[in-house]
Amino acid sequence: MVVTDDPPILKLGVDDAIAGLVLSTEAQWNQTEEDWRIFLRDGVVFGIRDGMRLVATAALLPYSGNNAWISMVLVSGTHRRRGLATRLVDACLETARKNGLTSWLDATPDGAAVYGPLGFTPTLQLRRLKLAKPMRTAAAAPATATLDSLRARDRRATGLDRTALLSAFAQRPGSRIVSANGAIALVRDGRTARHIGPLFADHAAAALTLVNAIAQSDDRPLLLDAVASQAAFLEGLTASGWTIERPFQRMRFGPATAGAEETPFAVAGPEFG
């Protein structure tokens, strides 16, 4: 019999939402308890405990078309450099393999250096931007749009049916779906800042106009995860006071799935795709 000191990997339940939030808050991430409940309710979240304390997690969130998103790869500062994250990501990949799923994730530069040797292929790049102090004005807020409109545009851009995810976002207090001039976006509360995304538009000017209208109707810090190839959009954001906080590299493990019909201007977040 092989004896190992490695702590066991456990499947977490909805009662672990607060413990997960403690980990993401330690990492200064923007997730809320409601975000954790999505992963715990609709996906599979693996965790490692030290006694009763949750010290590491990784989540696998299935989408349509045999796809799944890996995220919430977190290790407490007291337990890093012990291989816990690698073990948890391996558990996600094994679950995806057994279910015939292509896995996706949005990695930091350090993470991309780890995931590449595991067999992940880089796809598009993202940039996390922040507007620390929106200038709320008396200008009219952008028009409200329907969930069906957002869902249809999201499917065109991702090739996925994410009705459950977008519905969960839209039903939260403080969330709104807004549109103007062919652009549409979802705005929702985060732990420390409101998040804009996904965001779709026919061209960069329309996307920028909608983002500016959102900023003028909000007084909390705003976050947005822009697609790096939308260069005019990125340039317009930084010119209007947004600052780039960090890059993300989108990566895929497994066969390519159906291509998208358009490129979004901003995504739902690196944890959701």
Low-confidence stretches of the chain (pLDDT < 50) are 1-3
DSSP state of 179: E
Q: Are residues 75 and 180 in the same domain?
A: no
Q: Which residues lie across from 144 on neighbouring strands?
A: 178
Q: Are residues 245 and 133 in the same domain?
A: yes
Give the pLDDT score at 138: 61
CATH number at residue 66: 3.40.630.30
Dihedral angle computed from the Cα positions of residues 151, 155, 161 and 164, in that order, rounded to the nearest 10 degrees: -30
Whether 4 maps to a domain, the answer reads no
Q: Could you report the per-residue pLDDT of 41-85, keeping only the tens digit for each?
A: 999 999 999 999 999 999 999 999 899 999 999 999 999 989 999
Whether 84 maps to a domain, the answer reads yes
Q: Are residues 82 and 157 in the same domain?
A: no
Provide the whole-model pTM: 0.92
Identify the three-state secondary structure at position 68.
strand
Q: Could you report the per-residue pLDDT of 75-98, keeping only the tens digit for each?
A: 999 999 899 999 999 999 999 999
Largest CA distance in the chain: 71
Domain membership of residue 149 as a residue range:
127-253
Q: Are residues 88 and 143 in the same domain?
A: no
Give the pLDDT score at 47: 98
Whether 216 maps to a domain, the answer reads yes
Q: Are residues 91 and 164 in the same domain?
A: no
Residue 262 in tokens: 């358009």
For every residue of 220-233, DSSP letters joined together read S-EEEEEETT-HHH
Q: Are residues 92 and 134 in the same domain?
A: no
H/E run at residue 158: helix 147-158
Whether 220 maps to a domain, the answer reads yes
